[in-house]
Each structure stands twice: as C-alpha cells, then as structure tokens.
Structure 1
C-alpha cells in the first residue's frame, strides 16, 4: 500500500438498506478505524432516505446513511480498495447497479484532490445532488465545501431527495 506520509482529511458516505442497517454501518466504521492508514475522526448520526432505482423510488427498502470524517495517509485508489474490502467483509454483493446492498461506502472527497479514472472520480461526481450525503456531512462539518461545487450548506438547500435524522 502506497502512502502520502502526510495525513489528509477525507469524507466518506456510508449507506445500507438490507439487514440490520445501523449495526452494519457501525461495523463498517469500526472496521475502517482498524485499517493502517485510516483514522476515524468523526461520524454523523444516522439519517434515513428513500431508496432510488431507475425504475422508480421505493422498489427497495429505505437506506440508513452516515457521513464519516477520516484522516488518511493513503493514495485515493488505495483508500478505495480499503473501503471495498470492508464492504466485501460485510457481505456486499455487486451484481446490480442501484440495487439493494448491505453496505455502500463512497469516497466523497479527499482533501482538495481531483482524481478521475474508471474506478474513482474525486470529488464524488454526484455528491452535490444528494441529500443523503449532504445532510449527514453538514452535521459534522457545517462549514465544509465540496471542491468545485461550493459550501455544502448551500448545496443542501438545492439538492434533490429527502433525508431525515433516524430516531
């Protein structure tokens, strides 16, 4: 694994809509924090949002989502590999785009890095459109900005979809 040597802040968006959603997200956060090169700094409370599918909303169970702020010394692609290993360990199956999933971990941003290749685009190309990303992130970093898009508080005012804090 290649490292920068210097720690950068990254924002991860975690979601689950199968099984015990909250327990799976908690397990994912614990697993991330045990990986060399990743330090969990802060996490949001749990938020719920309707599932989305190209054939219509509500075809699969609602999602539970959180945002996690981590410090990482990893290269972006190494962080992606690490998050996908956590997903795999928690039973993630990748057989349908937009399908239901036990866990999904998206890298929203890493520092101010812009990165574009087949496997990873940074910042996440649709984060600015998603309440289930913006609301949990806003909770833990209210003055944050999404590189190339602006303050997340302003983005949340215009983003589509619903997200509500889970009781």
Structure 2
C-alpha cells in the first residue's frame, strides 16, 4: 500500500463541479477511508495563454495501485471528464497530476515523481500542506519549509468544498 498525493485543477465547464466529480472518482482508487482533500483554491493560470482562473486542490490517499497503474487511472478520470490535451498550460476541464508516490523518486518517460514543478507552485504547496503539514519530501525537505506568507497570499479559497 502506497501513500500518494494528487494535484487537481480545472478552469472549464464548472471547475468546482469538475473537482467534486474527480474527488468522487478518486474514491474508487483509494483504500477505504483514506481519501483526504484540501480546500479548493482559486489561482491565476500559468503561461501566456489567456484563460479563466483555475480552481485547485490536492488529494491524498493510500492505494494498492502501482505508479503506472495510478497514472493510467488518473488519465482515465481526466478523459471521462472531457480532458483534451491541445496546449501546454492551456485551459482544461480537469488536470490530475501525481505529485508524490510514497517516498519514491521515479523518472521514466511517462512519469516523473516527485512532480517536476510542485516546489514552485503555490496552488500545489499550500493545499498539500493543508492535508499533510508534517510531510517530508523524498529528498528530505520538510514541506513546511517551502511555504511562506507570499505563497499563501497568491491563493484565494474557492466558493465550495468537497464533502467526501
């Protein structure tokens, strides 16, 4: 059984509804009573593509799936919710990124864990710290050491939360 953390993001087709549906789908991947979800936050989009703000969250759960099985399952959830991969950092109905898989470091063509950009993204670090404040990253860095007031100030709580 592995402890995993997944970033959730959406900015199209009712983003809060998209994240709620994704959290319901994650229940099928999680071992019983292990799913925890952060509050939802609004954040500005990355990159130069003009698009609406995102709604983001992080989910943590234990699973018996291997890293690639989990990646496949996450991509299937994205596809079921209308994800189309056209533009890097473009608008999307749902984005599910595997952030951490236990304390493993994975670097294969389809999957890099820890997620390559998580340390620079307030919309990942702040929600992750909400559900795992004592988390130590695979390289030994305490998650709390990466969080500061300016990161927290970049985010605004979204209007609704998932009740899982």
For the residue of structure 2 that corresponds to 1:66, the secondary structure is strand
Q: Work out whether residues 45 and 66 of structure 1, in 8 Å CA contact, stay in contact via their aligned partners in 2.
A: yes
1:99, CA displacement in angstroms? 0.7
1:24-71 CA-partner distances (Å, limit 9, x unpaired): 101011112124xx3352111101100011x36xx1111100110111
Match of 2:146 in 1: 155
Query: Measured at CA, do residues 155 and 149 of structure 1 come closer, stay the same or move farther in structure 2, by a change above 3 Å?
Result: farther
Of residues 69-78 and 143-152 in structure 1, the stretch that sits farther from structure 2 once superposed is 143-152
Query: Measured at CA, do residues 50 and 105 of structure 1 come closer, stay the same or move farther in structure 2, by a change above 3 Å?
Result: same
1:105-129 CA-partner distances (Å, limit 9, x unpaired): 0000010111101110011111111
Match of 1:71 in 2: 62
1:1-150, aligned counterparts within 5 Å? 7-35=1-29, 38-39=30-31, 40-53=34-47, 55=48, 59-148=50-139, 150=141
For the residue of structure 1 that corresponds to 2:57, the secondary structure is strand
For the residue of structure 1 that corresponds to 2:96, the secondary structure is strand
CA RMSD, Structure 1 to Structure 2 (Å): 1.8
Structure 1 Cα separation of the partners of residues 41 and 156 of structure 2: 5
1:149, CA displacement in angstroms? 6.0
Normalising by structure 1, report the TM-score.
0.87
State how many pairs are aligned. 156
1:150, CA displacement in angstroms? 1.1
Structure 1 Cα separation of the partners of residues 137 and 118 of structure 2: 8
Normalising by structure 2, report the TM-score.
0.88
